[in-house]
Structure 1
Amino acid sequence: MMDGDAIADTDAEVNGRPMKKDEISDSQQPSPCDTQWYLSQIKGSLEDENVDADTISSVQFNENGEFLAAGDKGGRIVVFKRDLENQQPFARTDYNVYSTFQSHEPEFDYLKSVEIEEKINDIAWLKRRSPAHFLLSTNDKTVKLWKISEKTRRAEGFNLREEDSGRVLNQRLQRLRIPALRSVDGIVEASARRVYANAHAYHINSISVNADQETFLSADDLRINIWHTESKNLCWNVIDIKPDNMEDLAEVITYSRFHPTENSVFAFSSSKGVIRLCDMRRSTHHEQHAKLFADAEDVGTRNFFSEIIASIAHFTFSYNGLLMAARDYMHVKLWDLRMENKAVEVFHVHEYLKAKLCTLYENDCIFDKFDCCFSHDDKAILTGSYGSLFRVFDIASKRDVTYEASKDVTKVKAVLKPKKIIAGGDRLAAQKRKKDEIPTDSLDYGRKVLHASWHPRENVLALCATNNLFMFEDAH
């Protein structure tokens, strides 16, 4: 079992080099908050009107950052590939469209009389082991394994079907033809290799690939299943929190993820604001978890919104496997896996919204789920907010900085200016307000950075604001 001492004695490798335990808190290194960022690319429509199907719902780099996959509410997945030959004059992140395919279609469950949306809820890359690339994608009910490969040769000369359409020929064959392979320009083909279906009665919220690259988990509101990538008809239920009487239901599963280095360890979060770390070698029953990460609640500050904003929307492990960052509605909490009784640090994302919880509840924004992610060197945490704002938190110095993912930044290599949120928003205050100050009353709750991914090896950020994908990189 992976206990606290085992974690403490582990020096994991990050990006091919040993990661020392004291490297995270090394105050001599430059602060991530001092990094100068600039906008290198914008993907998607620049029009103000947004088609709901084009809203990006998931984004993820692959293991070396060469590819970036983005899924939307229309069930489509767009894979971008880094162009190393035709780079922009000042940019290293010239990502171009590599493949676009329809991953999921809308369906209808006739037994329950409900529609199943095609929206992509999560994407997970498998490490590359062949010339082809593999990734998993899921909507509410079905997980699919996609193979993305380049074709340089094409078979021609079929006897029983037409060349282009694949339709069966009706006329009689006059002569026997021998198929031949003809060289063609590189064609990228995406094919569904396996479909993992009929295992979830509730909405799937996350998928995660194991460190062994042979199994993955899928989690819905009440259950977590583990699949072998080679078997689409068999899975193992490892977590089931469904009570005998649904009226006794007290919490639901909100997210789940495998540990980055320990094959038998995974964690899942709940709507009660707790994260349970489970070791399958010990037990898979959620009440017999190995560790429980939860902050002591201040009873005196409880109100109607307390349980809603305490629900954990997303969490992730650091690359070295020692830390964990969890995002609830108002905070990012940093946990040390060796200390479960208290968070190492609590970063306030948008504390200024506490006075507006009633408004956020009325427009359903209080139920938004924001991602968080570690930097490639485990020194910073990235997460999003409203008004196209995103935050970078420095773990060592406890500093933070706010930036805006704006379409107005069109100047080549224009360095992003840190933003400051101020209270109010009346005309008198507007006259005295500086350019880098944003009043809380002018925040656009429709423009929100829900999903983000940090390049696994470099200072390159991918952030989603509705139907736009923003790419930022450090200026040096």
Structure 2
Amino acid sequence: RTTKLWRNTERHKRATGYNPTPDQLSSSNSLDDPISFNNHIPESTNSHPNRTDNSRINTPRFCSPADLRVTHFEDTEPTVEANPRRIFTSAHADLINSLSVNSDQETFLSADDSRINLWNSQITDQSFNILDIKPNNMEDLSKVITAAQFHPSACSMFVYSRGKVTARLCDMRQRALCDKHAATFEETDDPRGRTFFSEVINSLTDVSFSHSGHYILTRDYLTVKVWDFNMPYEPVETHLVHEYLRTKLCSLYENDCIFDKFECQWSPDDRYIMTGPYSNHFCVFDRYSNHEVLLEASREAMESPPVGRIRPRKLENGDSSKAGILVMDMQDTEVDEEQNAKMRDLTGLNRVDGAGDIAAAATTA
């Protein structure tokens, strides 16, 4: 419910050569010069063995001007420090699920299940509510806000996902309270293929603008889709993430895995899209060649440095339901509790602007 603004600083030098503290001086004098130590013990201490008096021992004592040090800086391995600069509170009653910085670099939005607030980065105690779908009776709230993001260049536009296969585009220039959307990206559901789980697996869990601002990426339980601004009635691309789980929806529903949320991201050049399935894996789709790659973010204990290494594992061409290490590991006909715990691993996914790096947050077994 609280948003914090952090400042990351990369340091290549550290200060060294500080003057010792009084405790360090007294300790060094006591250990390095036993005669001096004995000479500084008060006479009263000898007459009272149970009494401890360190008043004279803790007094700093410099023997010569050479004991004084001048602090200097030394080159070290680069380290990153994060320090909180501002804390934005008292705006959300529910847990925040999305944060997005505006292209004007002055404002940002925060979203929970029922509200989206607009903040100024310089004002920490006040925000403006731009969307509120919270009813008087919370039992009437059937579709919640799952994600929200600002347009990469148009600072007045943002998109948010709300239940089912619905992503809505809003323009703050039209209305101060964006309860009326400018466009809706929704695919018509075929009644013949509708099942008991259709509404659950088709609910959007994440939405993301492309860097060009011409496309929108959405993620539901089984697929990731690309939408064109000029075609809001159907996606231009549909990529299957783990279609093999469609036959196990009953077991996933019993274990609540069917309600898991996954994120999706674009590469800096908008050619690749990334999203996470299970078991610390995530998929990378090449939009130009239709090539799919399955990656694993893992940390090998005792063999690798403290940073997790990403090891690529290619998917086979053709039917995605028969491809990949992850598919082979998840072919059991029933999802048990142990497997359920193993499946909930990848918790976050993001890309680094201007580089081919991916930041993935995953839990360890």
TM-score, reference length from structure 1: 0.55
Distance verdict in 2 for CA 1:423–1:221, change over 3 Å: closer
Query: 1:321 is matched by which residue type in structure 2?
Result: G
Q: If each structure's strand is expressed as a fraction of its own residues, which one has the higher value?
A: 1
Q: Distance in 2 between matches of 1:342 and 1:309?
A: 17
Q: Which residue of 1 aligns with 2:250?
A: 358
3-state SS in 2 of match to 1:352: helix
Matches within 5 A, 1:165-176: none
Q: Structure 1, residues 159-214: CA drift from partner, whole Å, max 9, x if none?
A: xxxxxxxxxxxxxxxxxxxxxx9655588654322111111111110111000110
Distance verdict in 2 for CA 1:423–1:341, change over 3 Å: closer
Q: Structure 1, residues 91-124: CA drift from partner, whole Å, max 9, x if none?
A: xxxxxxxxxxxxxxxxxxxxxxxxxxxxxxxxxx
Displacement of 1:391: 1.5
Q: Distance in 2 between matches of 1:247 and 1:461?
A: 39
Query: 2:330 is matched by which residue type in structure 1?
Result: T
3-state SS in 2 of match to 1:227: strand
Q: Distance in 1 between matches of 2:247 and 2:311?
A: 32
Query: 1:438 is matched by which residue type in structure 2?
Result: M
2:347 matches 1:457 = no
Q: Distance in 2 between matches of 1:386 and 1:189?
A: 31
Q: Distance in 1 between matches of 2:80 and 2:274?
A: 32
Task: Kindly indicate whether the alpha-carbon contact (under 8 Å) linking 2:134 and 2:141 is maintained by their aligned counterparts in 1.
Answer: yes
Structure 2 segments unaligned to the other structure (5+ residues): 20-69
Task: Kindly indicate whether the alpha-carbon contact (under 8 Å) linking 2:172 and 2:178 is maintained by their aligned counterparts in 1.
Answer: no
3-state SS in 2 of match to 1:204: coil
Q: Distance in 2 between matches of 1:190 and 1:417?
A: 34
1:258 aligned residue (150, 171, 181): 150
Displacement of 1:290: 0.9
Q: Which residue of 2 aligns with 1:145?
A: 5
2:200 matches 1:303 = no
Distance verdict in 2 for CA 1:437–1:147, change over 3 Å: closer
Q: Distance in 2 between matches of 1:189 and 1:406?
A: 24
Matches within 5 A, 1:86-97: none
Q: Distance in 2 between matches of 1:415 and 1:194?
A: 37
Q: Which residue of 2 aligns with 1:82?
A: none
Query: 1:454 is matched by which residue type in structure 2?
Result: R
Q: If each structure's helix is expressed as a fraction of its own residues, which one has the higher value?
A: 2
Q: Which residue of 2 aligns with 1:418?
A: 314
Distance verdict in 2 for CA 1:242–1:440, change over 3 Å: same
Matches within 5 A, 1:269-348: 269-348=161-240
Displacement of 1:242: 1.2
Task: Kindly indicate whether the alpha-carbon contact (under 8 Å) linking 2:280 and 2:363 is maintained by their aligned counterparts in 1.
Answer: no
Displacement of 1:423: 7.2
Task: Kindly indicate whether the alpha-carbon contact (under 8 Å) linking 2:292 and 2:314 is maintained by their aligned counterparts in 1.
Answer: no
Displacement of 1:282: 0.8
Q: Distance in 1 between matches of 2:224 and 2:122?
A: 36
Task: Kindly indicate whether the alpha-carbon contact (under 8 Å) linking 2:132 and 2:179 is maintained by their aligned counterparts in 1.
Answer: no
Q: Distance in 2 between matches of 1:300 and 1:437?
A: 28
Q: Distance in 1 between matches of 2:169 and 2:325?
A: 45
Displacement of 1:292: 0.7
2:289 matches 1:377 = no
Q: Distance in 2 between matches of 1:465 and 1:411?
A: 17
Q: Distance in 2 between matches of 1:205 and 1:183?
A: 45
Displacement of 1:317: 1.1
3-state SS in 2 of match to 1:335: strand
Q: Structure 1, residues 6-30: CA drift from partner, whole Å, max 9, x if none?
A: xxxxxxxxxxxxxxxxxxxxxxxxx
Distance verdict in 2 for CA 1:353–1:263, change over 3 Å: same
Distance verdict in 2 for CA 1:414–1:344, change over 3 Å: closer
Q: Which residue of 2 aligns with 1:226?
A: 118
2:140 matches 1:248 = yes
Q: Distance in 1 between matches of 2:261 and 2:151?
A: 21
Q: Distance in 1 between matches of 2:320 and 2:7?
A: 48
Task: Kindly indicate whether the alpha-carbon contact (under 8 Å) linking 2:243 and 2:321 is maintained by their aligned counterparts in 1.
Answer: no
3-state SS in 2 of match to 1:288: coil
Structure 1 segments unaligned to the other structure (5+ residues): 1-140, 158-180, 425-432, 469-476
Q: Distance in 1 between matches of 2:352 and 2:107?
A: 24
Distance verdict in 2 for CA 1:375–1:143, change over 3 Å: same
State which drifts further: 409-418 or 371-380: 409-418
Distance verdict in 2 for CA 1:143–1:437, change over 3 Å: closer
Displacement of 1:223: 0.4
Task: Kindly indicate whether the alpha-carbon contact (under 8 Å) linking 1:419 and 1:438 is maintained by their aligned counterparts in 2.
Answer: no
Q: Which residue of 2 aligns with 1:178?
A: none
Structure of higher RCO (CA pairs closer than 8 Å, 6+ residues apart): 1
Q: Which residue of 2 aligns with 1:200?
A: 92
Q: Distance in 2 between matches of 1:193 and 1:348?
A: 41
State which drifts further: 271-280 or 385-394: 385-394
